[in-house]
Amino acid sequence: MTKINLKILAHELGVSVSTVSKALQDSYEISQETKDKVRSLARKLNFQPNPYASSLRRHQTRTIAVIVPEIANNFFALAINGIESIAQEKGYHVLIYLTHDSYEKEKSICEHLQSGRIDGVLMSVTTETQEYEHIAKLMDKGILLVFFDRVRHEIETAKVTTDDFVSGLSATEHLIQNGAKRIAYLSLSPNLSIDYKRKAGYLEGLHKYNISQAPELIVECTNNDEEAYQRIKALLTSPHRPDGVFASVEKLATIAYAVCQELSLQIPQDVKLICFSNLKIAALLSPSLSTITQPAFEIGKEAASILFQHLDRKRASIPNENIVLKSILVPRASSQGETLMI
Amino acid sequence: MTKINLKILAHELGVSVSTVSKALQDSYEISQETKDKVRSLARKLNFQPNPYASSLRRHQTRTIAVIVPEIANNFFALAINGIESIAQEKGYHVLIYLTHDSYEKEKSICEHLQSGRIDGVLMSVTTETQEYEHIAKLMDKGILLVFFDRVRHEIETAKVTTDDFVSGLSATEHLIQNGAKRIAYLSLSPNLSIDYKRKAGYLEGLHKYNISQAPELIVECTNNDEEAYQRIKALLTSPHRPDGVFASVEKLATIAYAVCQELSLQIPQDVKLICFSNLKIAALLSPSLSTITQPAFEIGKEAASILFQHLDRKRASIPNENIVLKSILVPRASSQGETLMI
DNA sequence: CTGTTAGCGCGTTCAA
DNA sequence: TTGAACGCGCTAACAG
């Protein structure tokens, strides 16, 4: 167990600590010869300068935090993949924090993050998030923030999202064009940006086709899977069962699917189902399901790029901006086609 | 943008810096009165001590790295979920690094991690990893390591895996009991622990039922999806097509499924398919698929627990140990049953 | 019970 | 072109 530091290197080479430091940073003040000497020894001992000592001096950590509700969700997993790839490229390090969709946890994580551990945050808020003082406090400490997917428009900063309204509209039209007349919307939480935008698209879709919206067809599902299951079951056993279901998020589609199986409802004969999903396997395994796929990887990359750009330029804050990427509707029919590979 | 530190707090309260430091750490040396004063001001200014300064002094970072091949894979996502939950509980921070199954990247990440940024590593190696000097170097710097899932037995430390041999055997028996006679094994890489153990289980299963193993039925698929697709297609269009396929990992099952669709092969009538998969949605959406589910979340939790335990006790190394958790075989028939919820 | 001092490892003056 | 000295913010040893 050999701990190396500048001092040891300096001693070994018979030069001063600051010379070694400068040499490793390729400073113009140091002769080529000395640089070579220093570097070859550093490589030989595989020395890496202590990043925390360096952070302390430089007042920057080259570390960001990613705060998401969950990770076993292909959208977030893919987004993190995008984030990590840009981070690796730009020499940043990525800390992961999961809120499990709890506001309390989100708050507590943000509070811990005021310590100077990170330069910036990429965040997708919880469905419970109503206030955002915890986020304001973070920004007050000079920590840059970029939202992605589940954003809060009340906070001034960059936000990377998908065209939720448009795709909500497309999804609804898709169901209508496939013959659905009574279309239900499964909502996760009305105070979630992605949810109310998709719902607005849904409403617009109905309106466009002169279909009146029956209030009982909008089902508020909570984060509680059991409860969601019961509510969807109630919906699908009601006298006027819908013939189309639009699940606003992947999890609700899964639950709706399970309910259909329990009730022996055929998809898409009895009920047509469309959902937001980034599981290629879902489209693949189930020819009965239409899906809307978000460019999750690109969202992650885009959000990270914006953050790193502003960090590298040492900006004090990120101007308000909405970056909207397009999702892709994968209709049932072509689900078996070319979009196969993961 | 208000940057607070101990000095400011001390000045504000008219006490010394070390008093504040001790008070915040609830040291027995400090009077209750002073503690209260200090803490109330700290809370008011929402002050968090700089963790990097503290790391520098204490020689411990309370930060670990998780190195995995990919994240958009439900097994790893769930494992990270487990890791993060324990980390949050124990007050550790989690850095994420993805290798994309490239040995070069794994090596480079390990080298960067020698800097003292972390106290420990949780790791799942790439299929390409043949040497492990990069890992040895890490450990030489006093960084503790626990492997999970994709392990290297050559390295002495704790390893958390599933009963790959047993479940490989069960999977094969399952196919045989469902009438398959010519069973193919889709392999990812023979130098991957999970793979060769599962394959050993497969061979044992054939042996047990006196089925001779035809070499052409073991298909080495690489990480290249296109190539895997072609090889599986070749397998399924060969004159003596197998009537059972055992996919050693989820991705290969997806590809195999896609090939079946292209060739219009019915599952399970033409070909029975079983695979390792942690996507509940796979079992849910496809009544034709049997799956073996690993306790991914628990694996993550277990690996993290072991690591934190040893870190907290300031052990210099972790003794060799194999922790083996049980996977669950979810047969096709019950795929529609109770195991519905995500 | 509180304060003074030293130093973790590094980068950055400034002087030589 | 190099080196000595200082301090980032914090904790630990020691003194009072």
Residues 6 or more apart whose Cβ sits within 8 Å of residue B206: B172, B183, B212, B213
Preferred mutation among A1, A50, A52 to probe B, highest tally of B CBs within 10 A: A52
| C-alpha dihedral sign at A149, A152, A158, A164 | positive
The pLDDT, as a whole number, for residue B259 is 86
Element (H, E) at A186: strand A183-187
Contact residues, A window 238-267, toward B, CB-based 8 Å cutoff: 251, 254-255, 257-258, 261
Contact residues, B window 64-103, toward A, CB-based 8 Å cutoff: 66, 70-74, 77-78, 80-81, 84-85, 88, 93-98
Q: Which domains, from first to last, does chain B contain?
A: 6-48 (no CATH), 58-162+296-325 (3.40.50.2300), 164-294+329-335 (3.40.50.2300)
- Whether residue A107 contacts residue A134, with contact meaning beta carbons closer than 8 Å, is answered with yes
Which chain A residue is nearest to residue B99, measuring alpha carbons? A85
The pLDDT, as a whole number, for residue A74 is 87
Is strand C less than 7 A from the beta carbon of A49? yes
Q: Tokens 């999961």 correspond to what residue? A: A98
Instruction: List chain A residues with CB under 8 Å of B48.
Output: 111-112, 114-116
The pLDDT, as a whole number, for residue A103 is 94
- Predicted structure pTM score: 0.93
- Give the nucleotide with minimal C1' distance to the Cα of A17: D3
CB count, 10 Å around CB of B287?
15
Q: Which of B286, B269, B227 is nearest to B252 (CA)?
A: B227
Rounded Cα–Cα distance for residues A46 and B116 (Å):
12
pLDDT by residue (tens digit) across B282-301? Answer: 666 666 678 888 999 999 99
Instruction: List chain B residues with CB under 8 Å of A341.
Output: 225-226, 229, 255, 258
Residue B338 has pLDDT above 60, yes or no: no
Residue A203 has pLDDT above 50, yes or no: yes
- Whether residue B208 contacts residue B183, with contact meaning beta carbons closer than 8 Å, is answered with no
Residue B278 has pLDDT above 80, yes or no: no
pLDDT by residue (tens digit) across B227-239? Answer: 999 999 999 999 8
Is strand C less than 7 A from the beta carbon of A252? no
CB contact under 8 A, B112 and A257: no
pLDDT by residue (tens digit) across A36-55? Answer: 888 898 999 889 999 999 99
pLDDT, greater one: A284 or B49: B49
Task: Please report, to the nearest 10 degrees, the dihedral formed by the alpha carbons of residues B207, B211, B214, B215 taken in order.
Answer: -10
Q: Which of A143, A141, A109 is nearest to A125 (CA)?
A: A109
Give the whole-number percent of chain B exceeding pLDDT 90. Answer: 61
Flag residues 39-98 of B with CB < 7 Å from strand D: 49-50, 53-54, 56-58
The pLDDT, as a whole number, for residue A285 is 62
pLDDT by residue (tens digit) across A71-100? Answer: 988 899 999 999 999 999 999 999 999 999
Residues 6 or more apart whose Cβ sits within 8 Å of residue A27: none
**Who among A115, A142, A340 is closest to B51 (CB)?**
A115
Nearest Cα of chain B lies from the Cα of A227 at a distance, in angstroms, of: 12
Contact residues, A window 215-234, toward B, CB-based 8 Å cutoff: 225-226, 229
Residue B318 has pLDDT above 90, yes or no: yes
Rounded Cα–Cα distance for residues B1 and A172 (Å):
46
Preferred mutation among A281, A297, A335 to probe B, highest tally of B CBs within 10 A: A281
Residues 6 or more apart whose Cβ sits within 8 Å of residue A160: A146, A147, A148, A149, A299, A302, A303, A306, A323, A325
pLDDT by residue (tens digit) across B93-142? Answer: 999 999 999 999 999 999 999 999 999 999 999 988 788 899 999 999 99
The pLDDT, as a whole number, for residue B287 is 65
Instruction: List chain A residues with CB under 8 Å of B53.
Output: 52, 56
Mean pLDDT throughout A304-321? 95
Cis peptide before A319 (omega within 30 of 0): no
Nearest Cα of chain A lies from the Cα of B28 at a distance, in angstroms, of: 24
The pLDDT, as a whole number, for residue A16 is 87
Which residues partner with B187 through β-bridges?
Answer: B220
DSSP secondary structure, B260-312, as one string: HHHTT--TTTT-EEEEE---HHHHHH-TTEEEEE--HHHHHHHHHHHHHHHHH
pLDDT by residue (tens digit) across A257-309? Answer: 888 878 888 777 888 878 787 776 666 666 667 889 899 999 999 999 999 99
Rounded Cα–Cα distance for residues A279 and A292 (Å):
10
- Residue ranges of E strands in chain B: 63-68, 93-98, 120-123, 144-148, 158-162, 183-187, 218-220, 244-247, 272-276, 289-293, 321-325, 328-330
Question: B331 in contact with A at a CB cutoff of 8 Å?
Answer: no
Instruction: List chain A residues with CB under 8 Å of B106.
Output: none
- Bases of chain D below 7 A from a protein C-beta are 1-5, 7-14
Contact residues, B window 164-223, toward A, CB-based 8 Å cutoff: none
CB count, 10 Å around CB of A5?
15
Which chain A residue is nearest to residue B70, measuring alpha carbons? A81
Rounded Cα–Cα distance for residues B236 and B93 (Å):
47
Element (H, E) at B133: helix B133-140
- Whether residue A252 contacts residue A303, with contact meaning beta carbons closer than 8 Å, is answered with no
Task: Please report, to the nearest 10 degrees, the dihedral formed by the alpha carbons of residues B83, B89, B90, B93 taken in order.
Answer: 60
Q: In angstroms, how far is C3 C1' from A9 CA? A: 36
Nearest Cα of chain B lies from the Cα of A211 at a distance, in angstroms, of: 30
Q: Which of B119, B130, B75, B70 is nearest to B295 (CA)?
A: B75
Nearest Cα of chain A lies from the Cα of B207 at a distance, in angstroms, of: 32
Residue B258 CB burial class (10 angstroms; 0-12, 13-18, ≥19) = buried
Question: B45 in contact with A at a CB cutoff of 8 Å?
Answer: no
pLDDT by residue (tens digit) across A157-189? Answer: 999 999 999 999 999 999 899 888 999 999 998
pLDDT by residue (tens digit) across B139-197? Answer: 999 999 999 999 999 999 999 999 999 999 999 999 899 888 999 999 998 888 899 99
Instruction: List chain A residues with CB under 8 Å of B258.
Output: 284, 340-341
The mean predicted confidence, pLDDT, of chain B is 89
Rounded Cα–Cα distance for residues B339 and B342 (Å):
8
pLDDT by residue (tens digit) across A17-35? Answer: 999 999 998 889 888 888 8
Residue A334 has pLDDT above 90, yes or no: no
Question: A48 in contact with B at a CB cutoff of 8 Å?
Answer: yes
The pLDDT, as a whole number, for residue B31 is 84
Residues 6 or more apart whose Cβ sits within 8 Å of residue B57: none
The pLDDT, as a whole number, for residue B335 is 44
Residue B336 has pLDDT above 60, yes or no: no
Rounded Cα–Cα distance for residues B271 and B12 (Å):
76
